[in-house]
Structure 1
Amino acid sequence: MLKDFTRRLRGLSGTALAVGFGLALAAASQAEAKVRVAYGDIASVENLHLLAAFELAKQKGVEIEMTYLKSEDIAAQAVVSGQADIGVGGPYALMQKVKVPVRIFLQLSTLRFYPAVNAEFYKTWKDLNGQEVAVHSRGSGTEAIMKLMEDKQGIKFSKISYIPGSEVRTGALLQGNVKATIVDSAGRRLLQEKAPGKFIILPLDGVNATDEALFARQDFLDKNPKDVDVIVESVLTTWREVTKNPAIVAEWRAKYKLLPDLPADQVAEITPYFTELAQGKAFPPNGGGEAAAKDDFAFYTLSGQLQGDPASLKVEDFWALEPLNRALGKVGTN
């Protein structure tokens, strides 16, 4: 059912999708009040741990309703317009442009991606000059990485296309539908297993920045501190458990009946995927905060997602630190 829903979403234009999303949320608001979360991606192995964290928050009394959208861009617009309460993504560029105060309140992950190219056509970054590349979505961390490397390598892509979902981009590479893209660790392993030697992973200079975060309008954060605190505490607790024992994600999937239609080959990837991320310290145990914001300023100004001198950007213009500080006061730092 979820897969069919996602396919239908991807067939819609941005306007039609926004209208449909608005109607869905309007209907939901007439029922019991829920925290409406907009996710600009499909439900997959990549976000199983977040779904588990939300299940934990539900057990603590917070009703959460997830809506999967075509892109991070549309999810962010839904938060700005008030059609969603919380978004998942990295909306730095949007926050700098809109007048509505939208703030990040929890870092979910740092960037861990791998630029992959078909070795028959490309061998180095220079070979991508004048060529098309595919990333997750407009404004995403994958786009920021590719734009940064474009600048560092002195090249210019002919086009950046948007294909949501690392597993979808990995499949497109294997099928020959794209020749250059960027994938996650599970995608990298799949490329190596299915077609050893056919694809090259291009080197990345050190990148330390937010990939995904939870963000909301400031007025929502001010009016719903209890729900927000429970969500932040649940994510921090979940992240720490995954870091200690990545295999627990597969157990949570069974316990909470998450993604029941996941293909067997993807089920087998759950523990290896989270093990690699845990070893790479991709799950911030303390939720990011001021230090993460400053790292983001340095990265996203270089990649062109943010404008201005990083030193002149103010943390309070992009982050609401109070929910995280309250949560850390309860669960402690790690």
Structure 2
Amino acid sequence: MMTLFGKVAAFATAVPVALTMMVASVQAEPIRIALAETPSDELAAFFVALDRAKANGLDYEWTAFSDEELAIQAVLSGQMDIGFGTPYSAMQRSKAPLRIVFQLSKLKFFPVTTKKYSSLEDLNGEPILLHSRGGGTDSIANVIEERVGMKFGDRSYVPGSSNRVAALLGGRADATIIDLSNKNKLMRSEAADRFNVLEMFDVEASDEALFGNLTWIQENEAQVDIFVKALVSVWQDMHKDPTIVRRETNPDGPIGQLPKEILDELDGFYADAVAGGLYDPNGGGRKAAMADMEWYSAAGQLDGDASTLNIEDFWYLAPLDAASK
């Protein structure tokens, strides 16, 4: 028979073992994150969230892919756990149960052209430079064609709005679709009189979202919850004060190593983005999911009428629901 002392000793031994097992369950394997582009000012808030998540026990590693399609394929193949993108077509057609857990940004993009064009109708049959095949700017081009009743010419793909601005400035393109921040920078520059920002309808759907395989998400619930809570905290804090991103950027991290001229513009970048409605402080959730159903069905990346689609076939809302409590 075990003595009282023996029972106490056994309990004392079991407690740290149990705690060790709990910690191990959170940190069993690093989350493998597939970025859809190399680190840039557009990813500064995301890396601040990663730092906050790391401080709360999340272990992670990231890989930058050259475009969204490759990031999606990396998650589909199991090479990566979490990816950037809006893989609605892959979700519907793939056997893998991909689900979105957080809306990173909305489709706040603008058609910008040289002075050759003054309206969307003028782009009928003309080549256009976009971010990635099947991505947000590709879907915008599809909806423009449907609503305006025209058809773009050849579509070429160059990831990163800043890179597409460089193509415009260098005379390598006459028409593209770029994000809010780069549109503002271009039209404030000395070259502004060379370009037109074409009138565009408003869009609330997701541009970039965080997604993963549902089975993996549920098996790694503790890690995903830490991650999503960190994202929500940063997105809410930067709505109160956009300078939080610059102030919390790790000088030794991938964003902190960017050129000084980019770092000096972070406050302006996030002030413009927040004012322009680029980020939902609550991570999108059901509101974003409904907007996505309407947008991506109209864009031809989802089969079926939006009213017939079930958002739970595309979003897994439990992590956001937990973060909001």
Q: Report the TM-score when normalising by structure 2.
A: 0.88
Aligned to 2:163: 168
Pairing 1:246–2:249 present: no
1:50 partner letter:
F
Find the structure with the greater CA-based Rg.
2
Aligned to 1:185: 180
Indicate if the aligned counterparts of 2:36 and 2:71 stay in contact, CA closer than 8 A: yes
2:206 partner letter:
T
Aligned to 2:75: 79
Aligned to 1:34: 30
Give the Cα–Cα distance (whole angstroms) in 2 for the partners of residues 254 and 39 of structure 1: 18
- Residue 196 (structure 1) shift: 2.1
The DSSP-based 3-state class of the residue aligned with 1:194 is: coil
- Deviation sequence 1:205-238 (CA, Å, 0-9, x none): 1211011111000111111010000000000000
Q: Which runs of 4+ in 1 moved over 4 A?
A: none
- Deviation sequence 1:173-223 (CA, Å, 0-9, x none): 111111100111221123221302111011111211011111000111111
Aligned to 1:276: 272
Aligned to 1:232: 228
The DSSP-based 3-state class of the residue aligned with 1:197 is: helix
- Residue 310 (structure 1) shift: 0.4
1:195 partner letter:
A
- Deviation sequence 1:238-274 (CA, Å, 0-9, x none): 0011111111211122556442442333223211111
Match of 2:144 among 146, 149, 172: 149
- Deviation sequence 1:110-148 (CA, Å, 0-9, x none): 1111110011x2121111111110111112111111211
- Residue 63 (structure 1) shift: 0.8
Give the Cα–Cα distance (whole angstroms) in 1 for the partners of residues 130 and 288 of structure 2: 23
The DSSP-based 3-state class of the residue aligned with 1:277 is: helix
Give the Cα–Cα distance (whole angstroms) in 2 for the partners of residues 299 and 224 of structure 1: 30
Give the Cα–Cα distance (whole angstroms) in 1 for the partners of residues 153 and 104 of structure 2: 32
Give the Cα–Cα distance (whole angstroms) in 2 for the partners of residues 51 and 68 of structure 1: 13
The sequence identity of aligned pairs, in percent, is 38
The DSSP-based 3-state class of the residue aligned with 1:284 is: coil
Aligned to 1:139: 134
Pairing 1:51–2:53 present: no
- Residue 76 (structure 1) shift: 0.8
Give the Cα–Cα distance (whole angstroms) in 1 for the partners of residues 190 and 160 of structure 2: 18
Indicate if the aligned counterparts of 1:174 and 1:191 stay in contact, CA closer than 8 A: no
Pairing 1:60–2:56 present: yes
Give the Cα–Cα distance (whole angstroms) in 1 for the partners of residues 321 and 282 of structure 2: 9
Pairing 1:290–2:313 present: no
Pairing 1:100–2:106 present: no
Indicate if the aligned counterparts of 1:186 and 1:269 stay in contact, CA closer than 8 A: no
Indicate if the aligned counterparts of 1:49 and 1:238 stay in contact, CA closer than 8 A: yes
Aligned to 1:29: none
5+ residue gaps, structure 2, are 1-27
1:244 partner letter:
K
- Residue 95 (structure 1) shift: 0.5
Give the Cα–Cα distance (whole angstroms) in 1 for the partners of residues 271 and 252 of structure 2: 20
Match of 2:255 among 251, 254, 259: 259
Give the Cα–Cα distance (whole angstroms) in 1 for the partners of residues 323 and 259 of structure 2: 36
Two-structure CA RMSD over aligned residues (Å): 1.5
Aligned to 1:312: 308
Give the Cα–Cα distance (whole angstroms) in 1 for the partners of residues 205 and 192 of structure 2: 30
Q: Report the TM-score when normalising by structure 1.
A: 0.86
